[in-house]
Amino acid sequence: MGLTIAEKILLKHSGQKELGDFVYAKVDFCFGNDITAPLAVKEFLKAGFDSVFNPGKIGFVCDHFLPARDAKAANNAKFLKEFSRKFRIKHFYDINHCGVEHAFLLERGLVKPGDLVVGADSHTCTGGALGAFATGVGSTDLSAAMYTGFCWLKVPQTIKFVYKGKPGKWVGGKDLILATIGKIGVDGALYQVMEFCGPVIEKIGAEDRLAMSNMAIEAGGKAGIIAPDEITLSYLNKIAGIKLPVSYIKNLKSDRDAKYSRIVEIDVTNMEPQVACPHSPANVRPVSALKAVKLQQVIIGSCTNGRIGDLKIAAKIIKGKPIARGVRVVVIPATPDVYLQAEKEGLLKIFASAGCAVSSPTCGSCLGGHMGILDKGETAIATTNRNFIGRMGSPESFVYLSSPAVAAASAIKGRIAHPDEIR
């Protein structure tokens, strides 16, 4: 019986000849952020560990509450900095040069095809778009991985998602994954790998793929993975300067006789941009059905859609037009490199001229931490990945999820809008 790409990666990292129900696998990189890593470090110290398995394969990314929103946030960053200094952790990042972890770590070249990556953050699955087995773990698991360099995993089954047809205008990776979650539900891939493939996936760019893998967890997925190809290799070279030969990824694909728990085919022909309505990523409707929804806030950014391609799409729609009166619009480039590129290409000027606030890289608004909190009764549309009750502030607020194109059009109209409405 053949193997899926996920099974191949786990088997290789286990050192075994065959996979069982569970695997004790060697990790290539493990990391946490300024919320989850302090918990892991405390467990590490409590257990009496006196060394780390490899200082160059551990990362701490202070991206959620920095610049520090309060004294506790400042203390967390200081705590991680001191631990990193003591154990010579190479990849400690705070305000000096830091970005949203699931975009930033890729730029640092720390996630590659075929890698096994574990992170104390559920959206670690983003790295699967590059052909890695990347998955979120708890802070205690991170603590153990920091010491041993290994992680226990139950070997997950895989669902194969095949995308066919020709998508409509403005439809990208965010729309594809929202449509998928809307189809199978928030537990439709519970502890399974979501393998994205088919003619549509083969044609879309790396950033669209990253948006899809990023939200695998919103369907309960353990990982969201795409077989690496020349698009993957080109992207890694562009953002991280990593040049890998095609031979490097030759066997990183599922065998023809691989076993899947099920196969789901999705025809995207004539699909229009998708929007997830409150209070679930699975409550998905086409944008044309939501034009009556008025907004008080728009967020363009996050680990899902804060890359340079996302900002280019938003700027193209916003250029030369004012933001609707009474609407707060916050644009958050995911990393310093994205910020600098956006400045170089004049995108930040476009946003600022239209009335947007441009932030330094942060996860703050996505999880209701800072940089865009909603009050009771307020409604936002965001390019983020979750819209649960209270996710962005008050439990009596409302969050809609969309692509950068829909978010930008909505910012101009002051209500949820199709990009084609903007002339």
pLDDT tens, residue order, the chain (423 aa): 799 999 999 999 999 999 999 999 999 999 999 999 999 999 999 999 999 999 999 999 999 998 888 899 899 999 999 999 999 999 999 977 899 999 999 999 999 999 999 999 999 999 999 999 999 999 999 999 999 999 999 999 999 999 999 998 999 999 999 999 999 999 999 999 999 999 999 999 999 999 999 999 999 999 999 999 999 999 999 999 999 999 999 999 999 999 999 999 999 999 999 999 999 999 999 999 999 999 999 999 999 999 999 999 999 999 999 999 999 999 999 999 999 999 999 999 999 999 999 999 999 999 998 889 999 999 999 999 999 999 999 999 999 999 999 999 999 999 999 999 998
The 10 Å Cβ neighbour count of residue 234 is 13
Question: What is the second-level CATH architecture of the domain 276-421?
Answer: 2-Layer Sandwich (3.30)
Nearest-angstrom CA–CA distance, 134 and 222: 9
* Burial of 355 per CB tally in 10 Å (0-12, 13-18, 19+): middle
Give the whole-angstrom CA distance, residue 292 versus residue 407: 15
pLDDT for the residue 68 = 82
Strands 274-276, 284-286: pairing is antiparallel
**CA–CA distance, 145 with 372 (Å, rounded to integer):** 34
The dihedrals phi and psi of 178, each to the nearest 5 degrees, come to -65, -45
Cβ 355 vs Cβ 322: under 8 Å: yes
Confidence (pLDDT) at 73: 87
DSSP H helices, 262-364, are 302-305, 308-318, 336-344, 347-354
Distance CA 207, CA 236 (A): 11
Give ranges for CATH 3.30.499.10 in the chain: 5-266, 276-421
Cα–Cα distance, 416 to 273 (Å, whole number) = 11
Cα separation of 200 and 206, whole Å?
A: 12
Cβ count near 106 (within 10 Å): 27
Residue 317 confidence (pLDDT): 98
Superfamily of domain covering 5-266: Aconitase, domain 3 (3.30.499.10)
Residue with tokens 């967890």: 217
Return d(Cα 63, Cα 355) in angstroms, integer. Answer: 25
Q: Which pLDDT value is given to residue 1?
A: 78
Q: Determine the residue type at 52.
A: V
Q: How far apart are the C-alpha atoms of 194 and 290, rounded to whole Å?
A: 29
pLDDT of residue 323: 97
pLDDT of residue 69: 87
CB 260 within 8 A of CB 269: no
pLDDT at 412: 98
| pLDDT in the model for residue 66 | 84
Residue among 372, 202, 349, 227 at smallest CA distance from 300: 372
Alpha-helical (H) ranges within 171-327 are 173-184, 199-203, 206-214, 230-240, 302-305, 308-318
